[in-house]
């Protein structure tokens, strides 16, 4: 059984998850491009392997970025509903 971090640890984990969005998309595009170049080299399909796998890399990157963004959003909503975090500064009504 794993313990869920609370408070500050949870906030840092959500920040880390959000940071992944900026790194996953370019990484997926580069991986798709390089795999396409390799496929072109092996099969002599130039430039179709590169084009198709780059587009698939873009799609995979967007899919993963959206998945992470939705996860972070759900965690933010849950944190707001549990009362652990508040956008309203203390002392204001």
- Using CA atoms, how far apart are residues 32 and 49, in angstroms rounded to an integer? 10
**What value, to the nearest 5°, has the Cα angle with vertex 74 and ends 87 and 25?**
105
The per-residue pLDDT for range 56-76, each reduced to its tens digit, is 999 999 999 999 999 888 988
**Residue 70 confidence (pLDDT):** 92
**Residue 6 confidence (pLDDT):** 62
Q: Per the structure block, which two tokens stand in for 32?
A: 């798709």
- The Cβ of residue 12 has, within 10 Å, a number of other Cβ atoms equal to 11
**Residue 13 confidence (pLDDT):** 85
Distant-in-sequence, close-in-space partners of 74: CB < 8 Å, separation ≥ 6: none
**Residue 63 confidence (pLDDT):** 97
Residues of the chain short of pLDDT 50, as ranges, are 1, 93
For the chain, the structural domain boundaries read 12-82
């Amino acid at each position: 059984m794993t313990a869920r971090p609370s408070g500050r640890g949870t906030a840092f984990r959500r920040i880390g998850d959000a940071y992944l969005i900026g790194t996953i998309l370019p990484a997926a595009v580069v991986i798709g491009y390089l795999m396409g170049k390799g496929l072109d080299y092996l099969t002599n399909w130039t430039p179709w392997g590169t084009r198709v796998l780059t587009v698939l890399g873009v799609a995979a990157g967007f899919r993963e970025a959206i998945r992470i963004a939705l996860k972070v959003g759900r965690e933010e909503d849950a944190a707001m509903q549990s009362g652990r975090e508040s956008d309203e500064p203390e002392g204001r009504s």
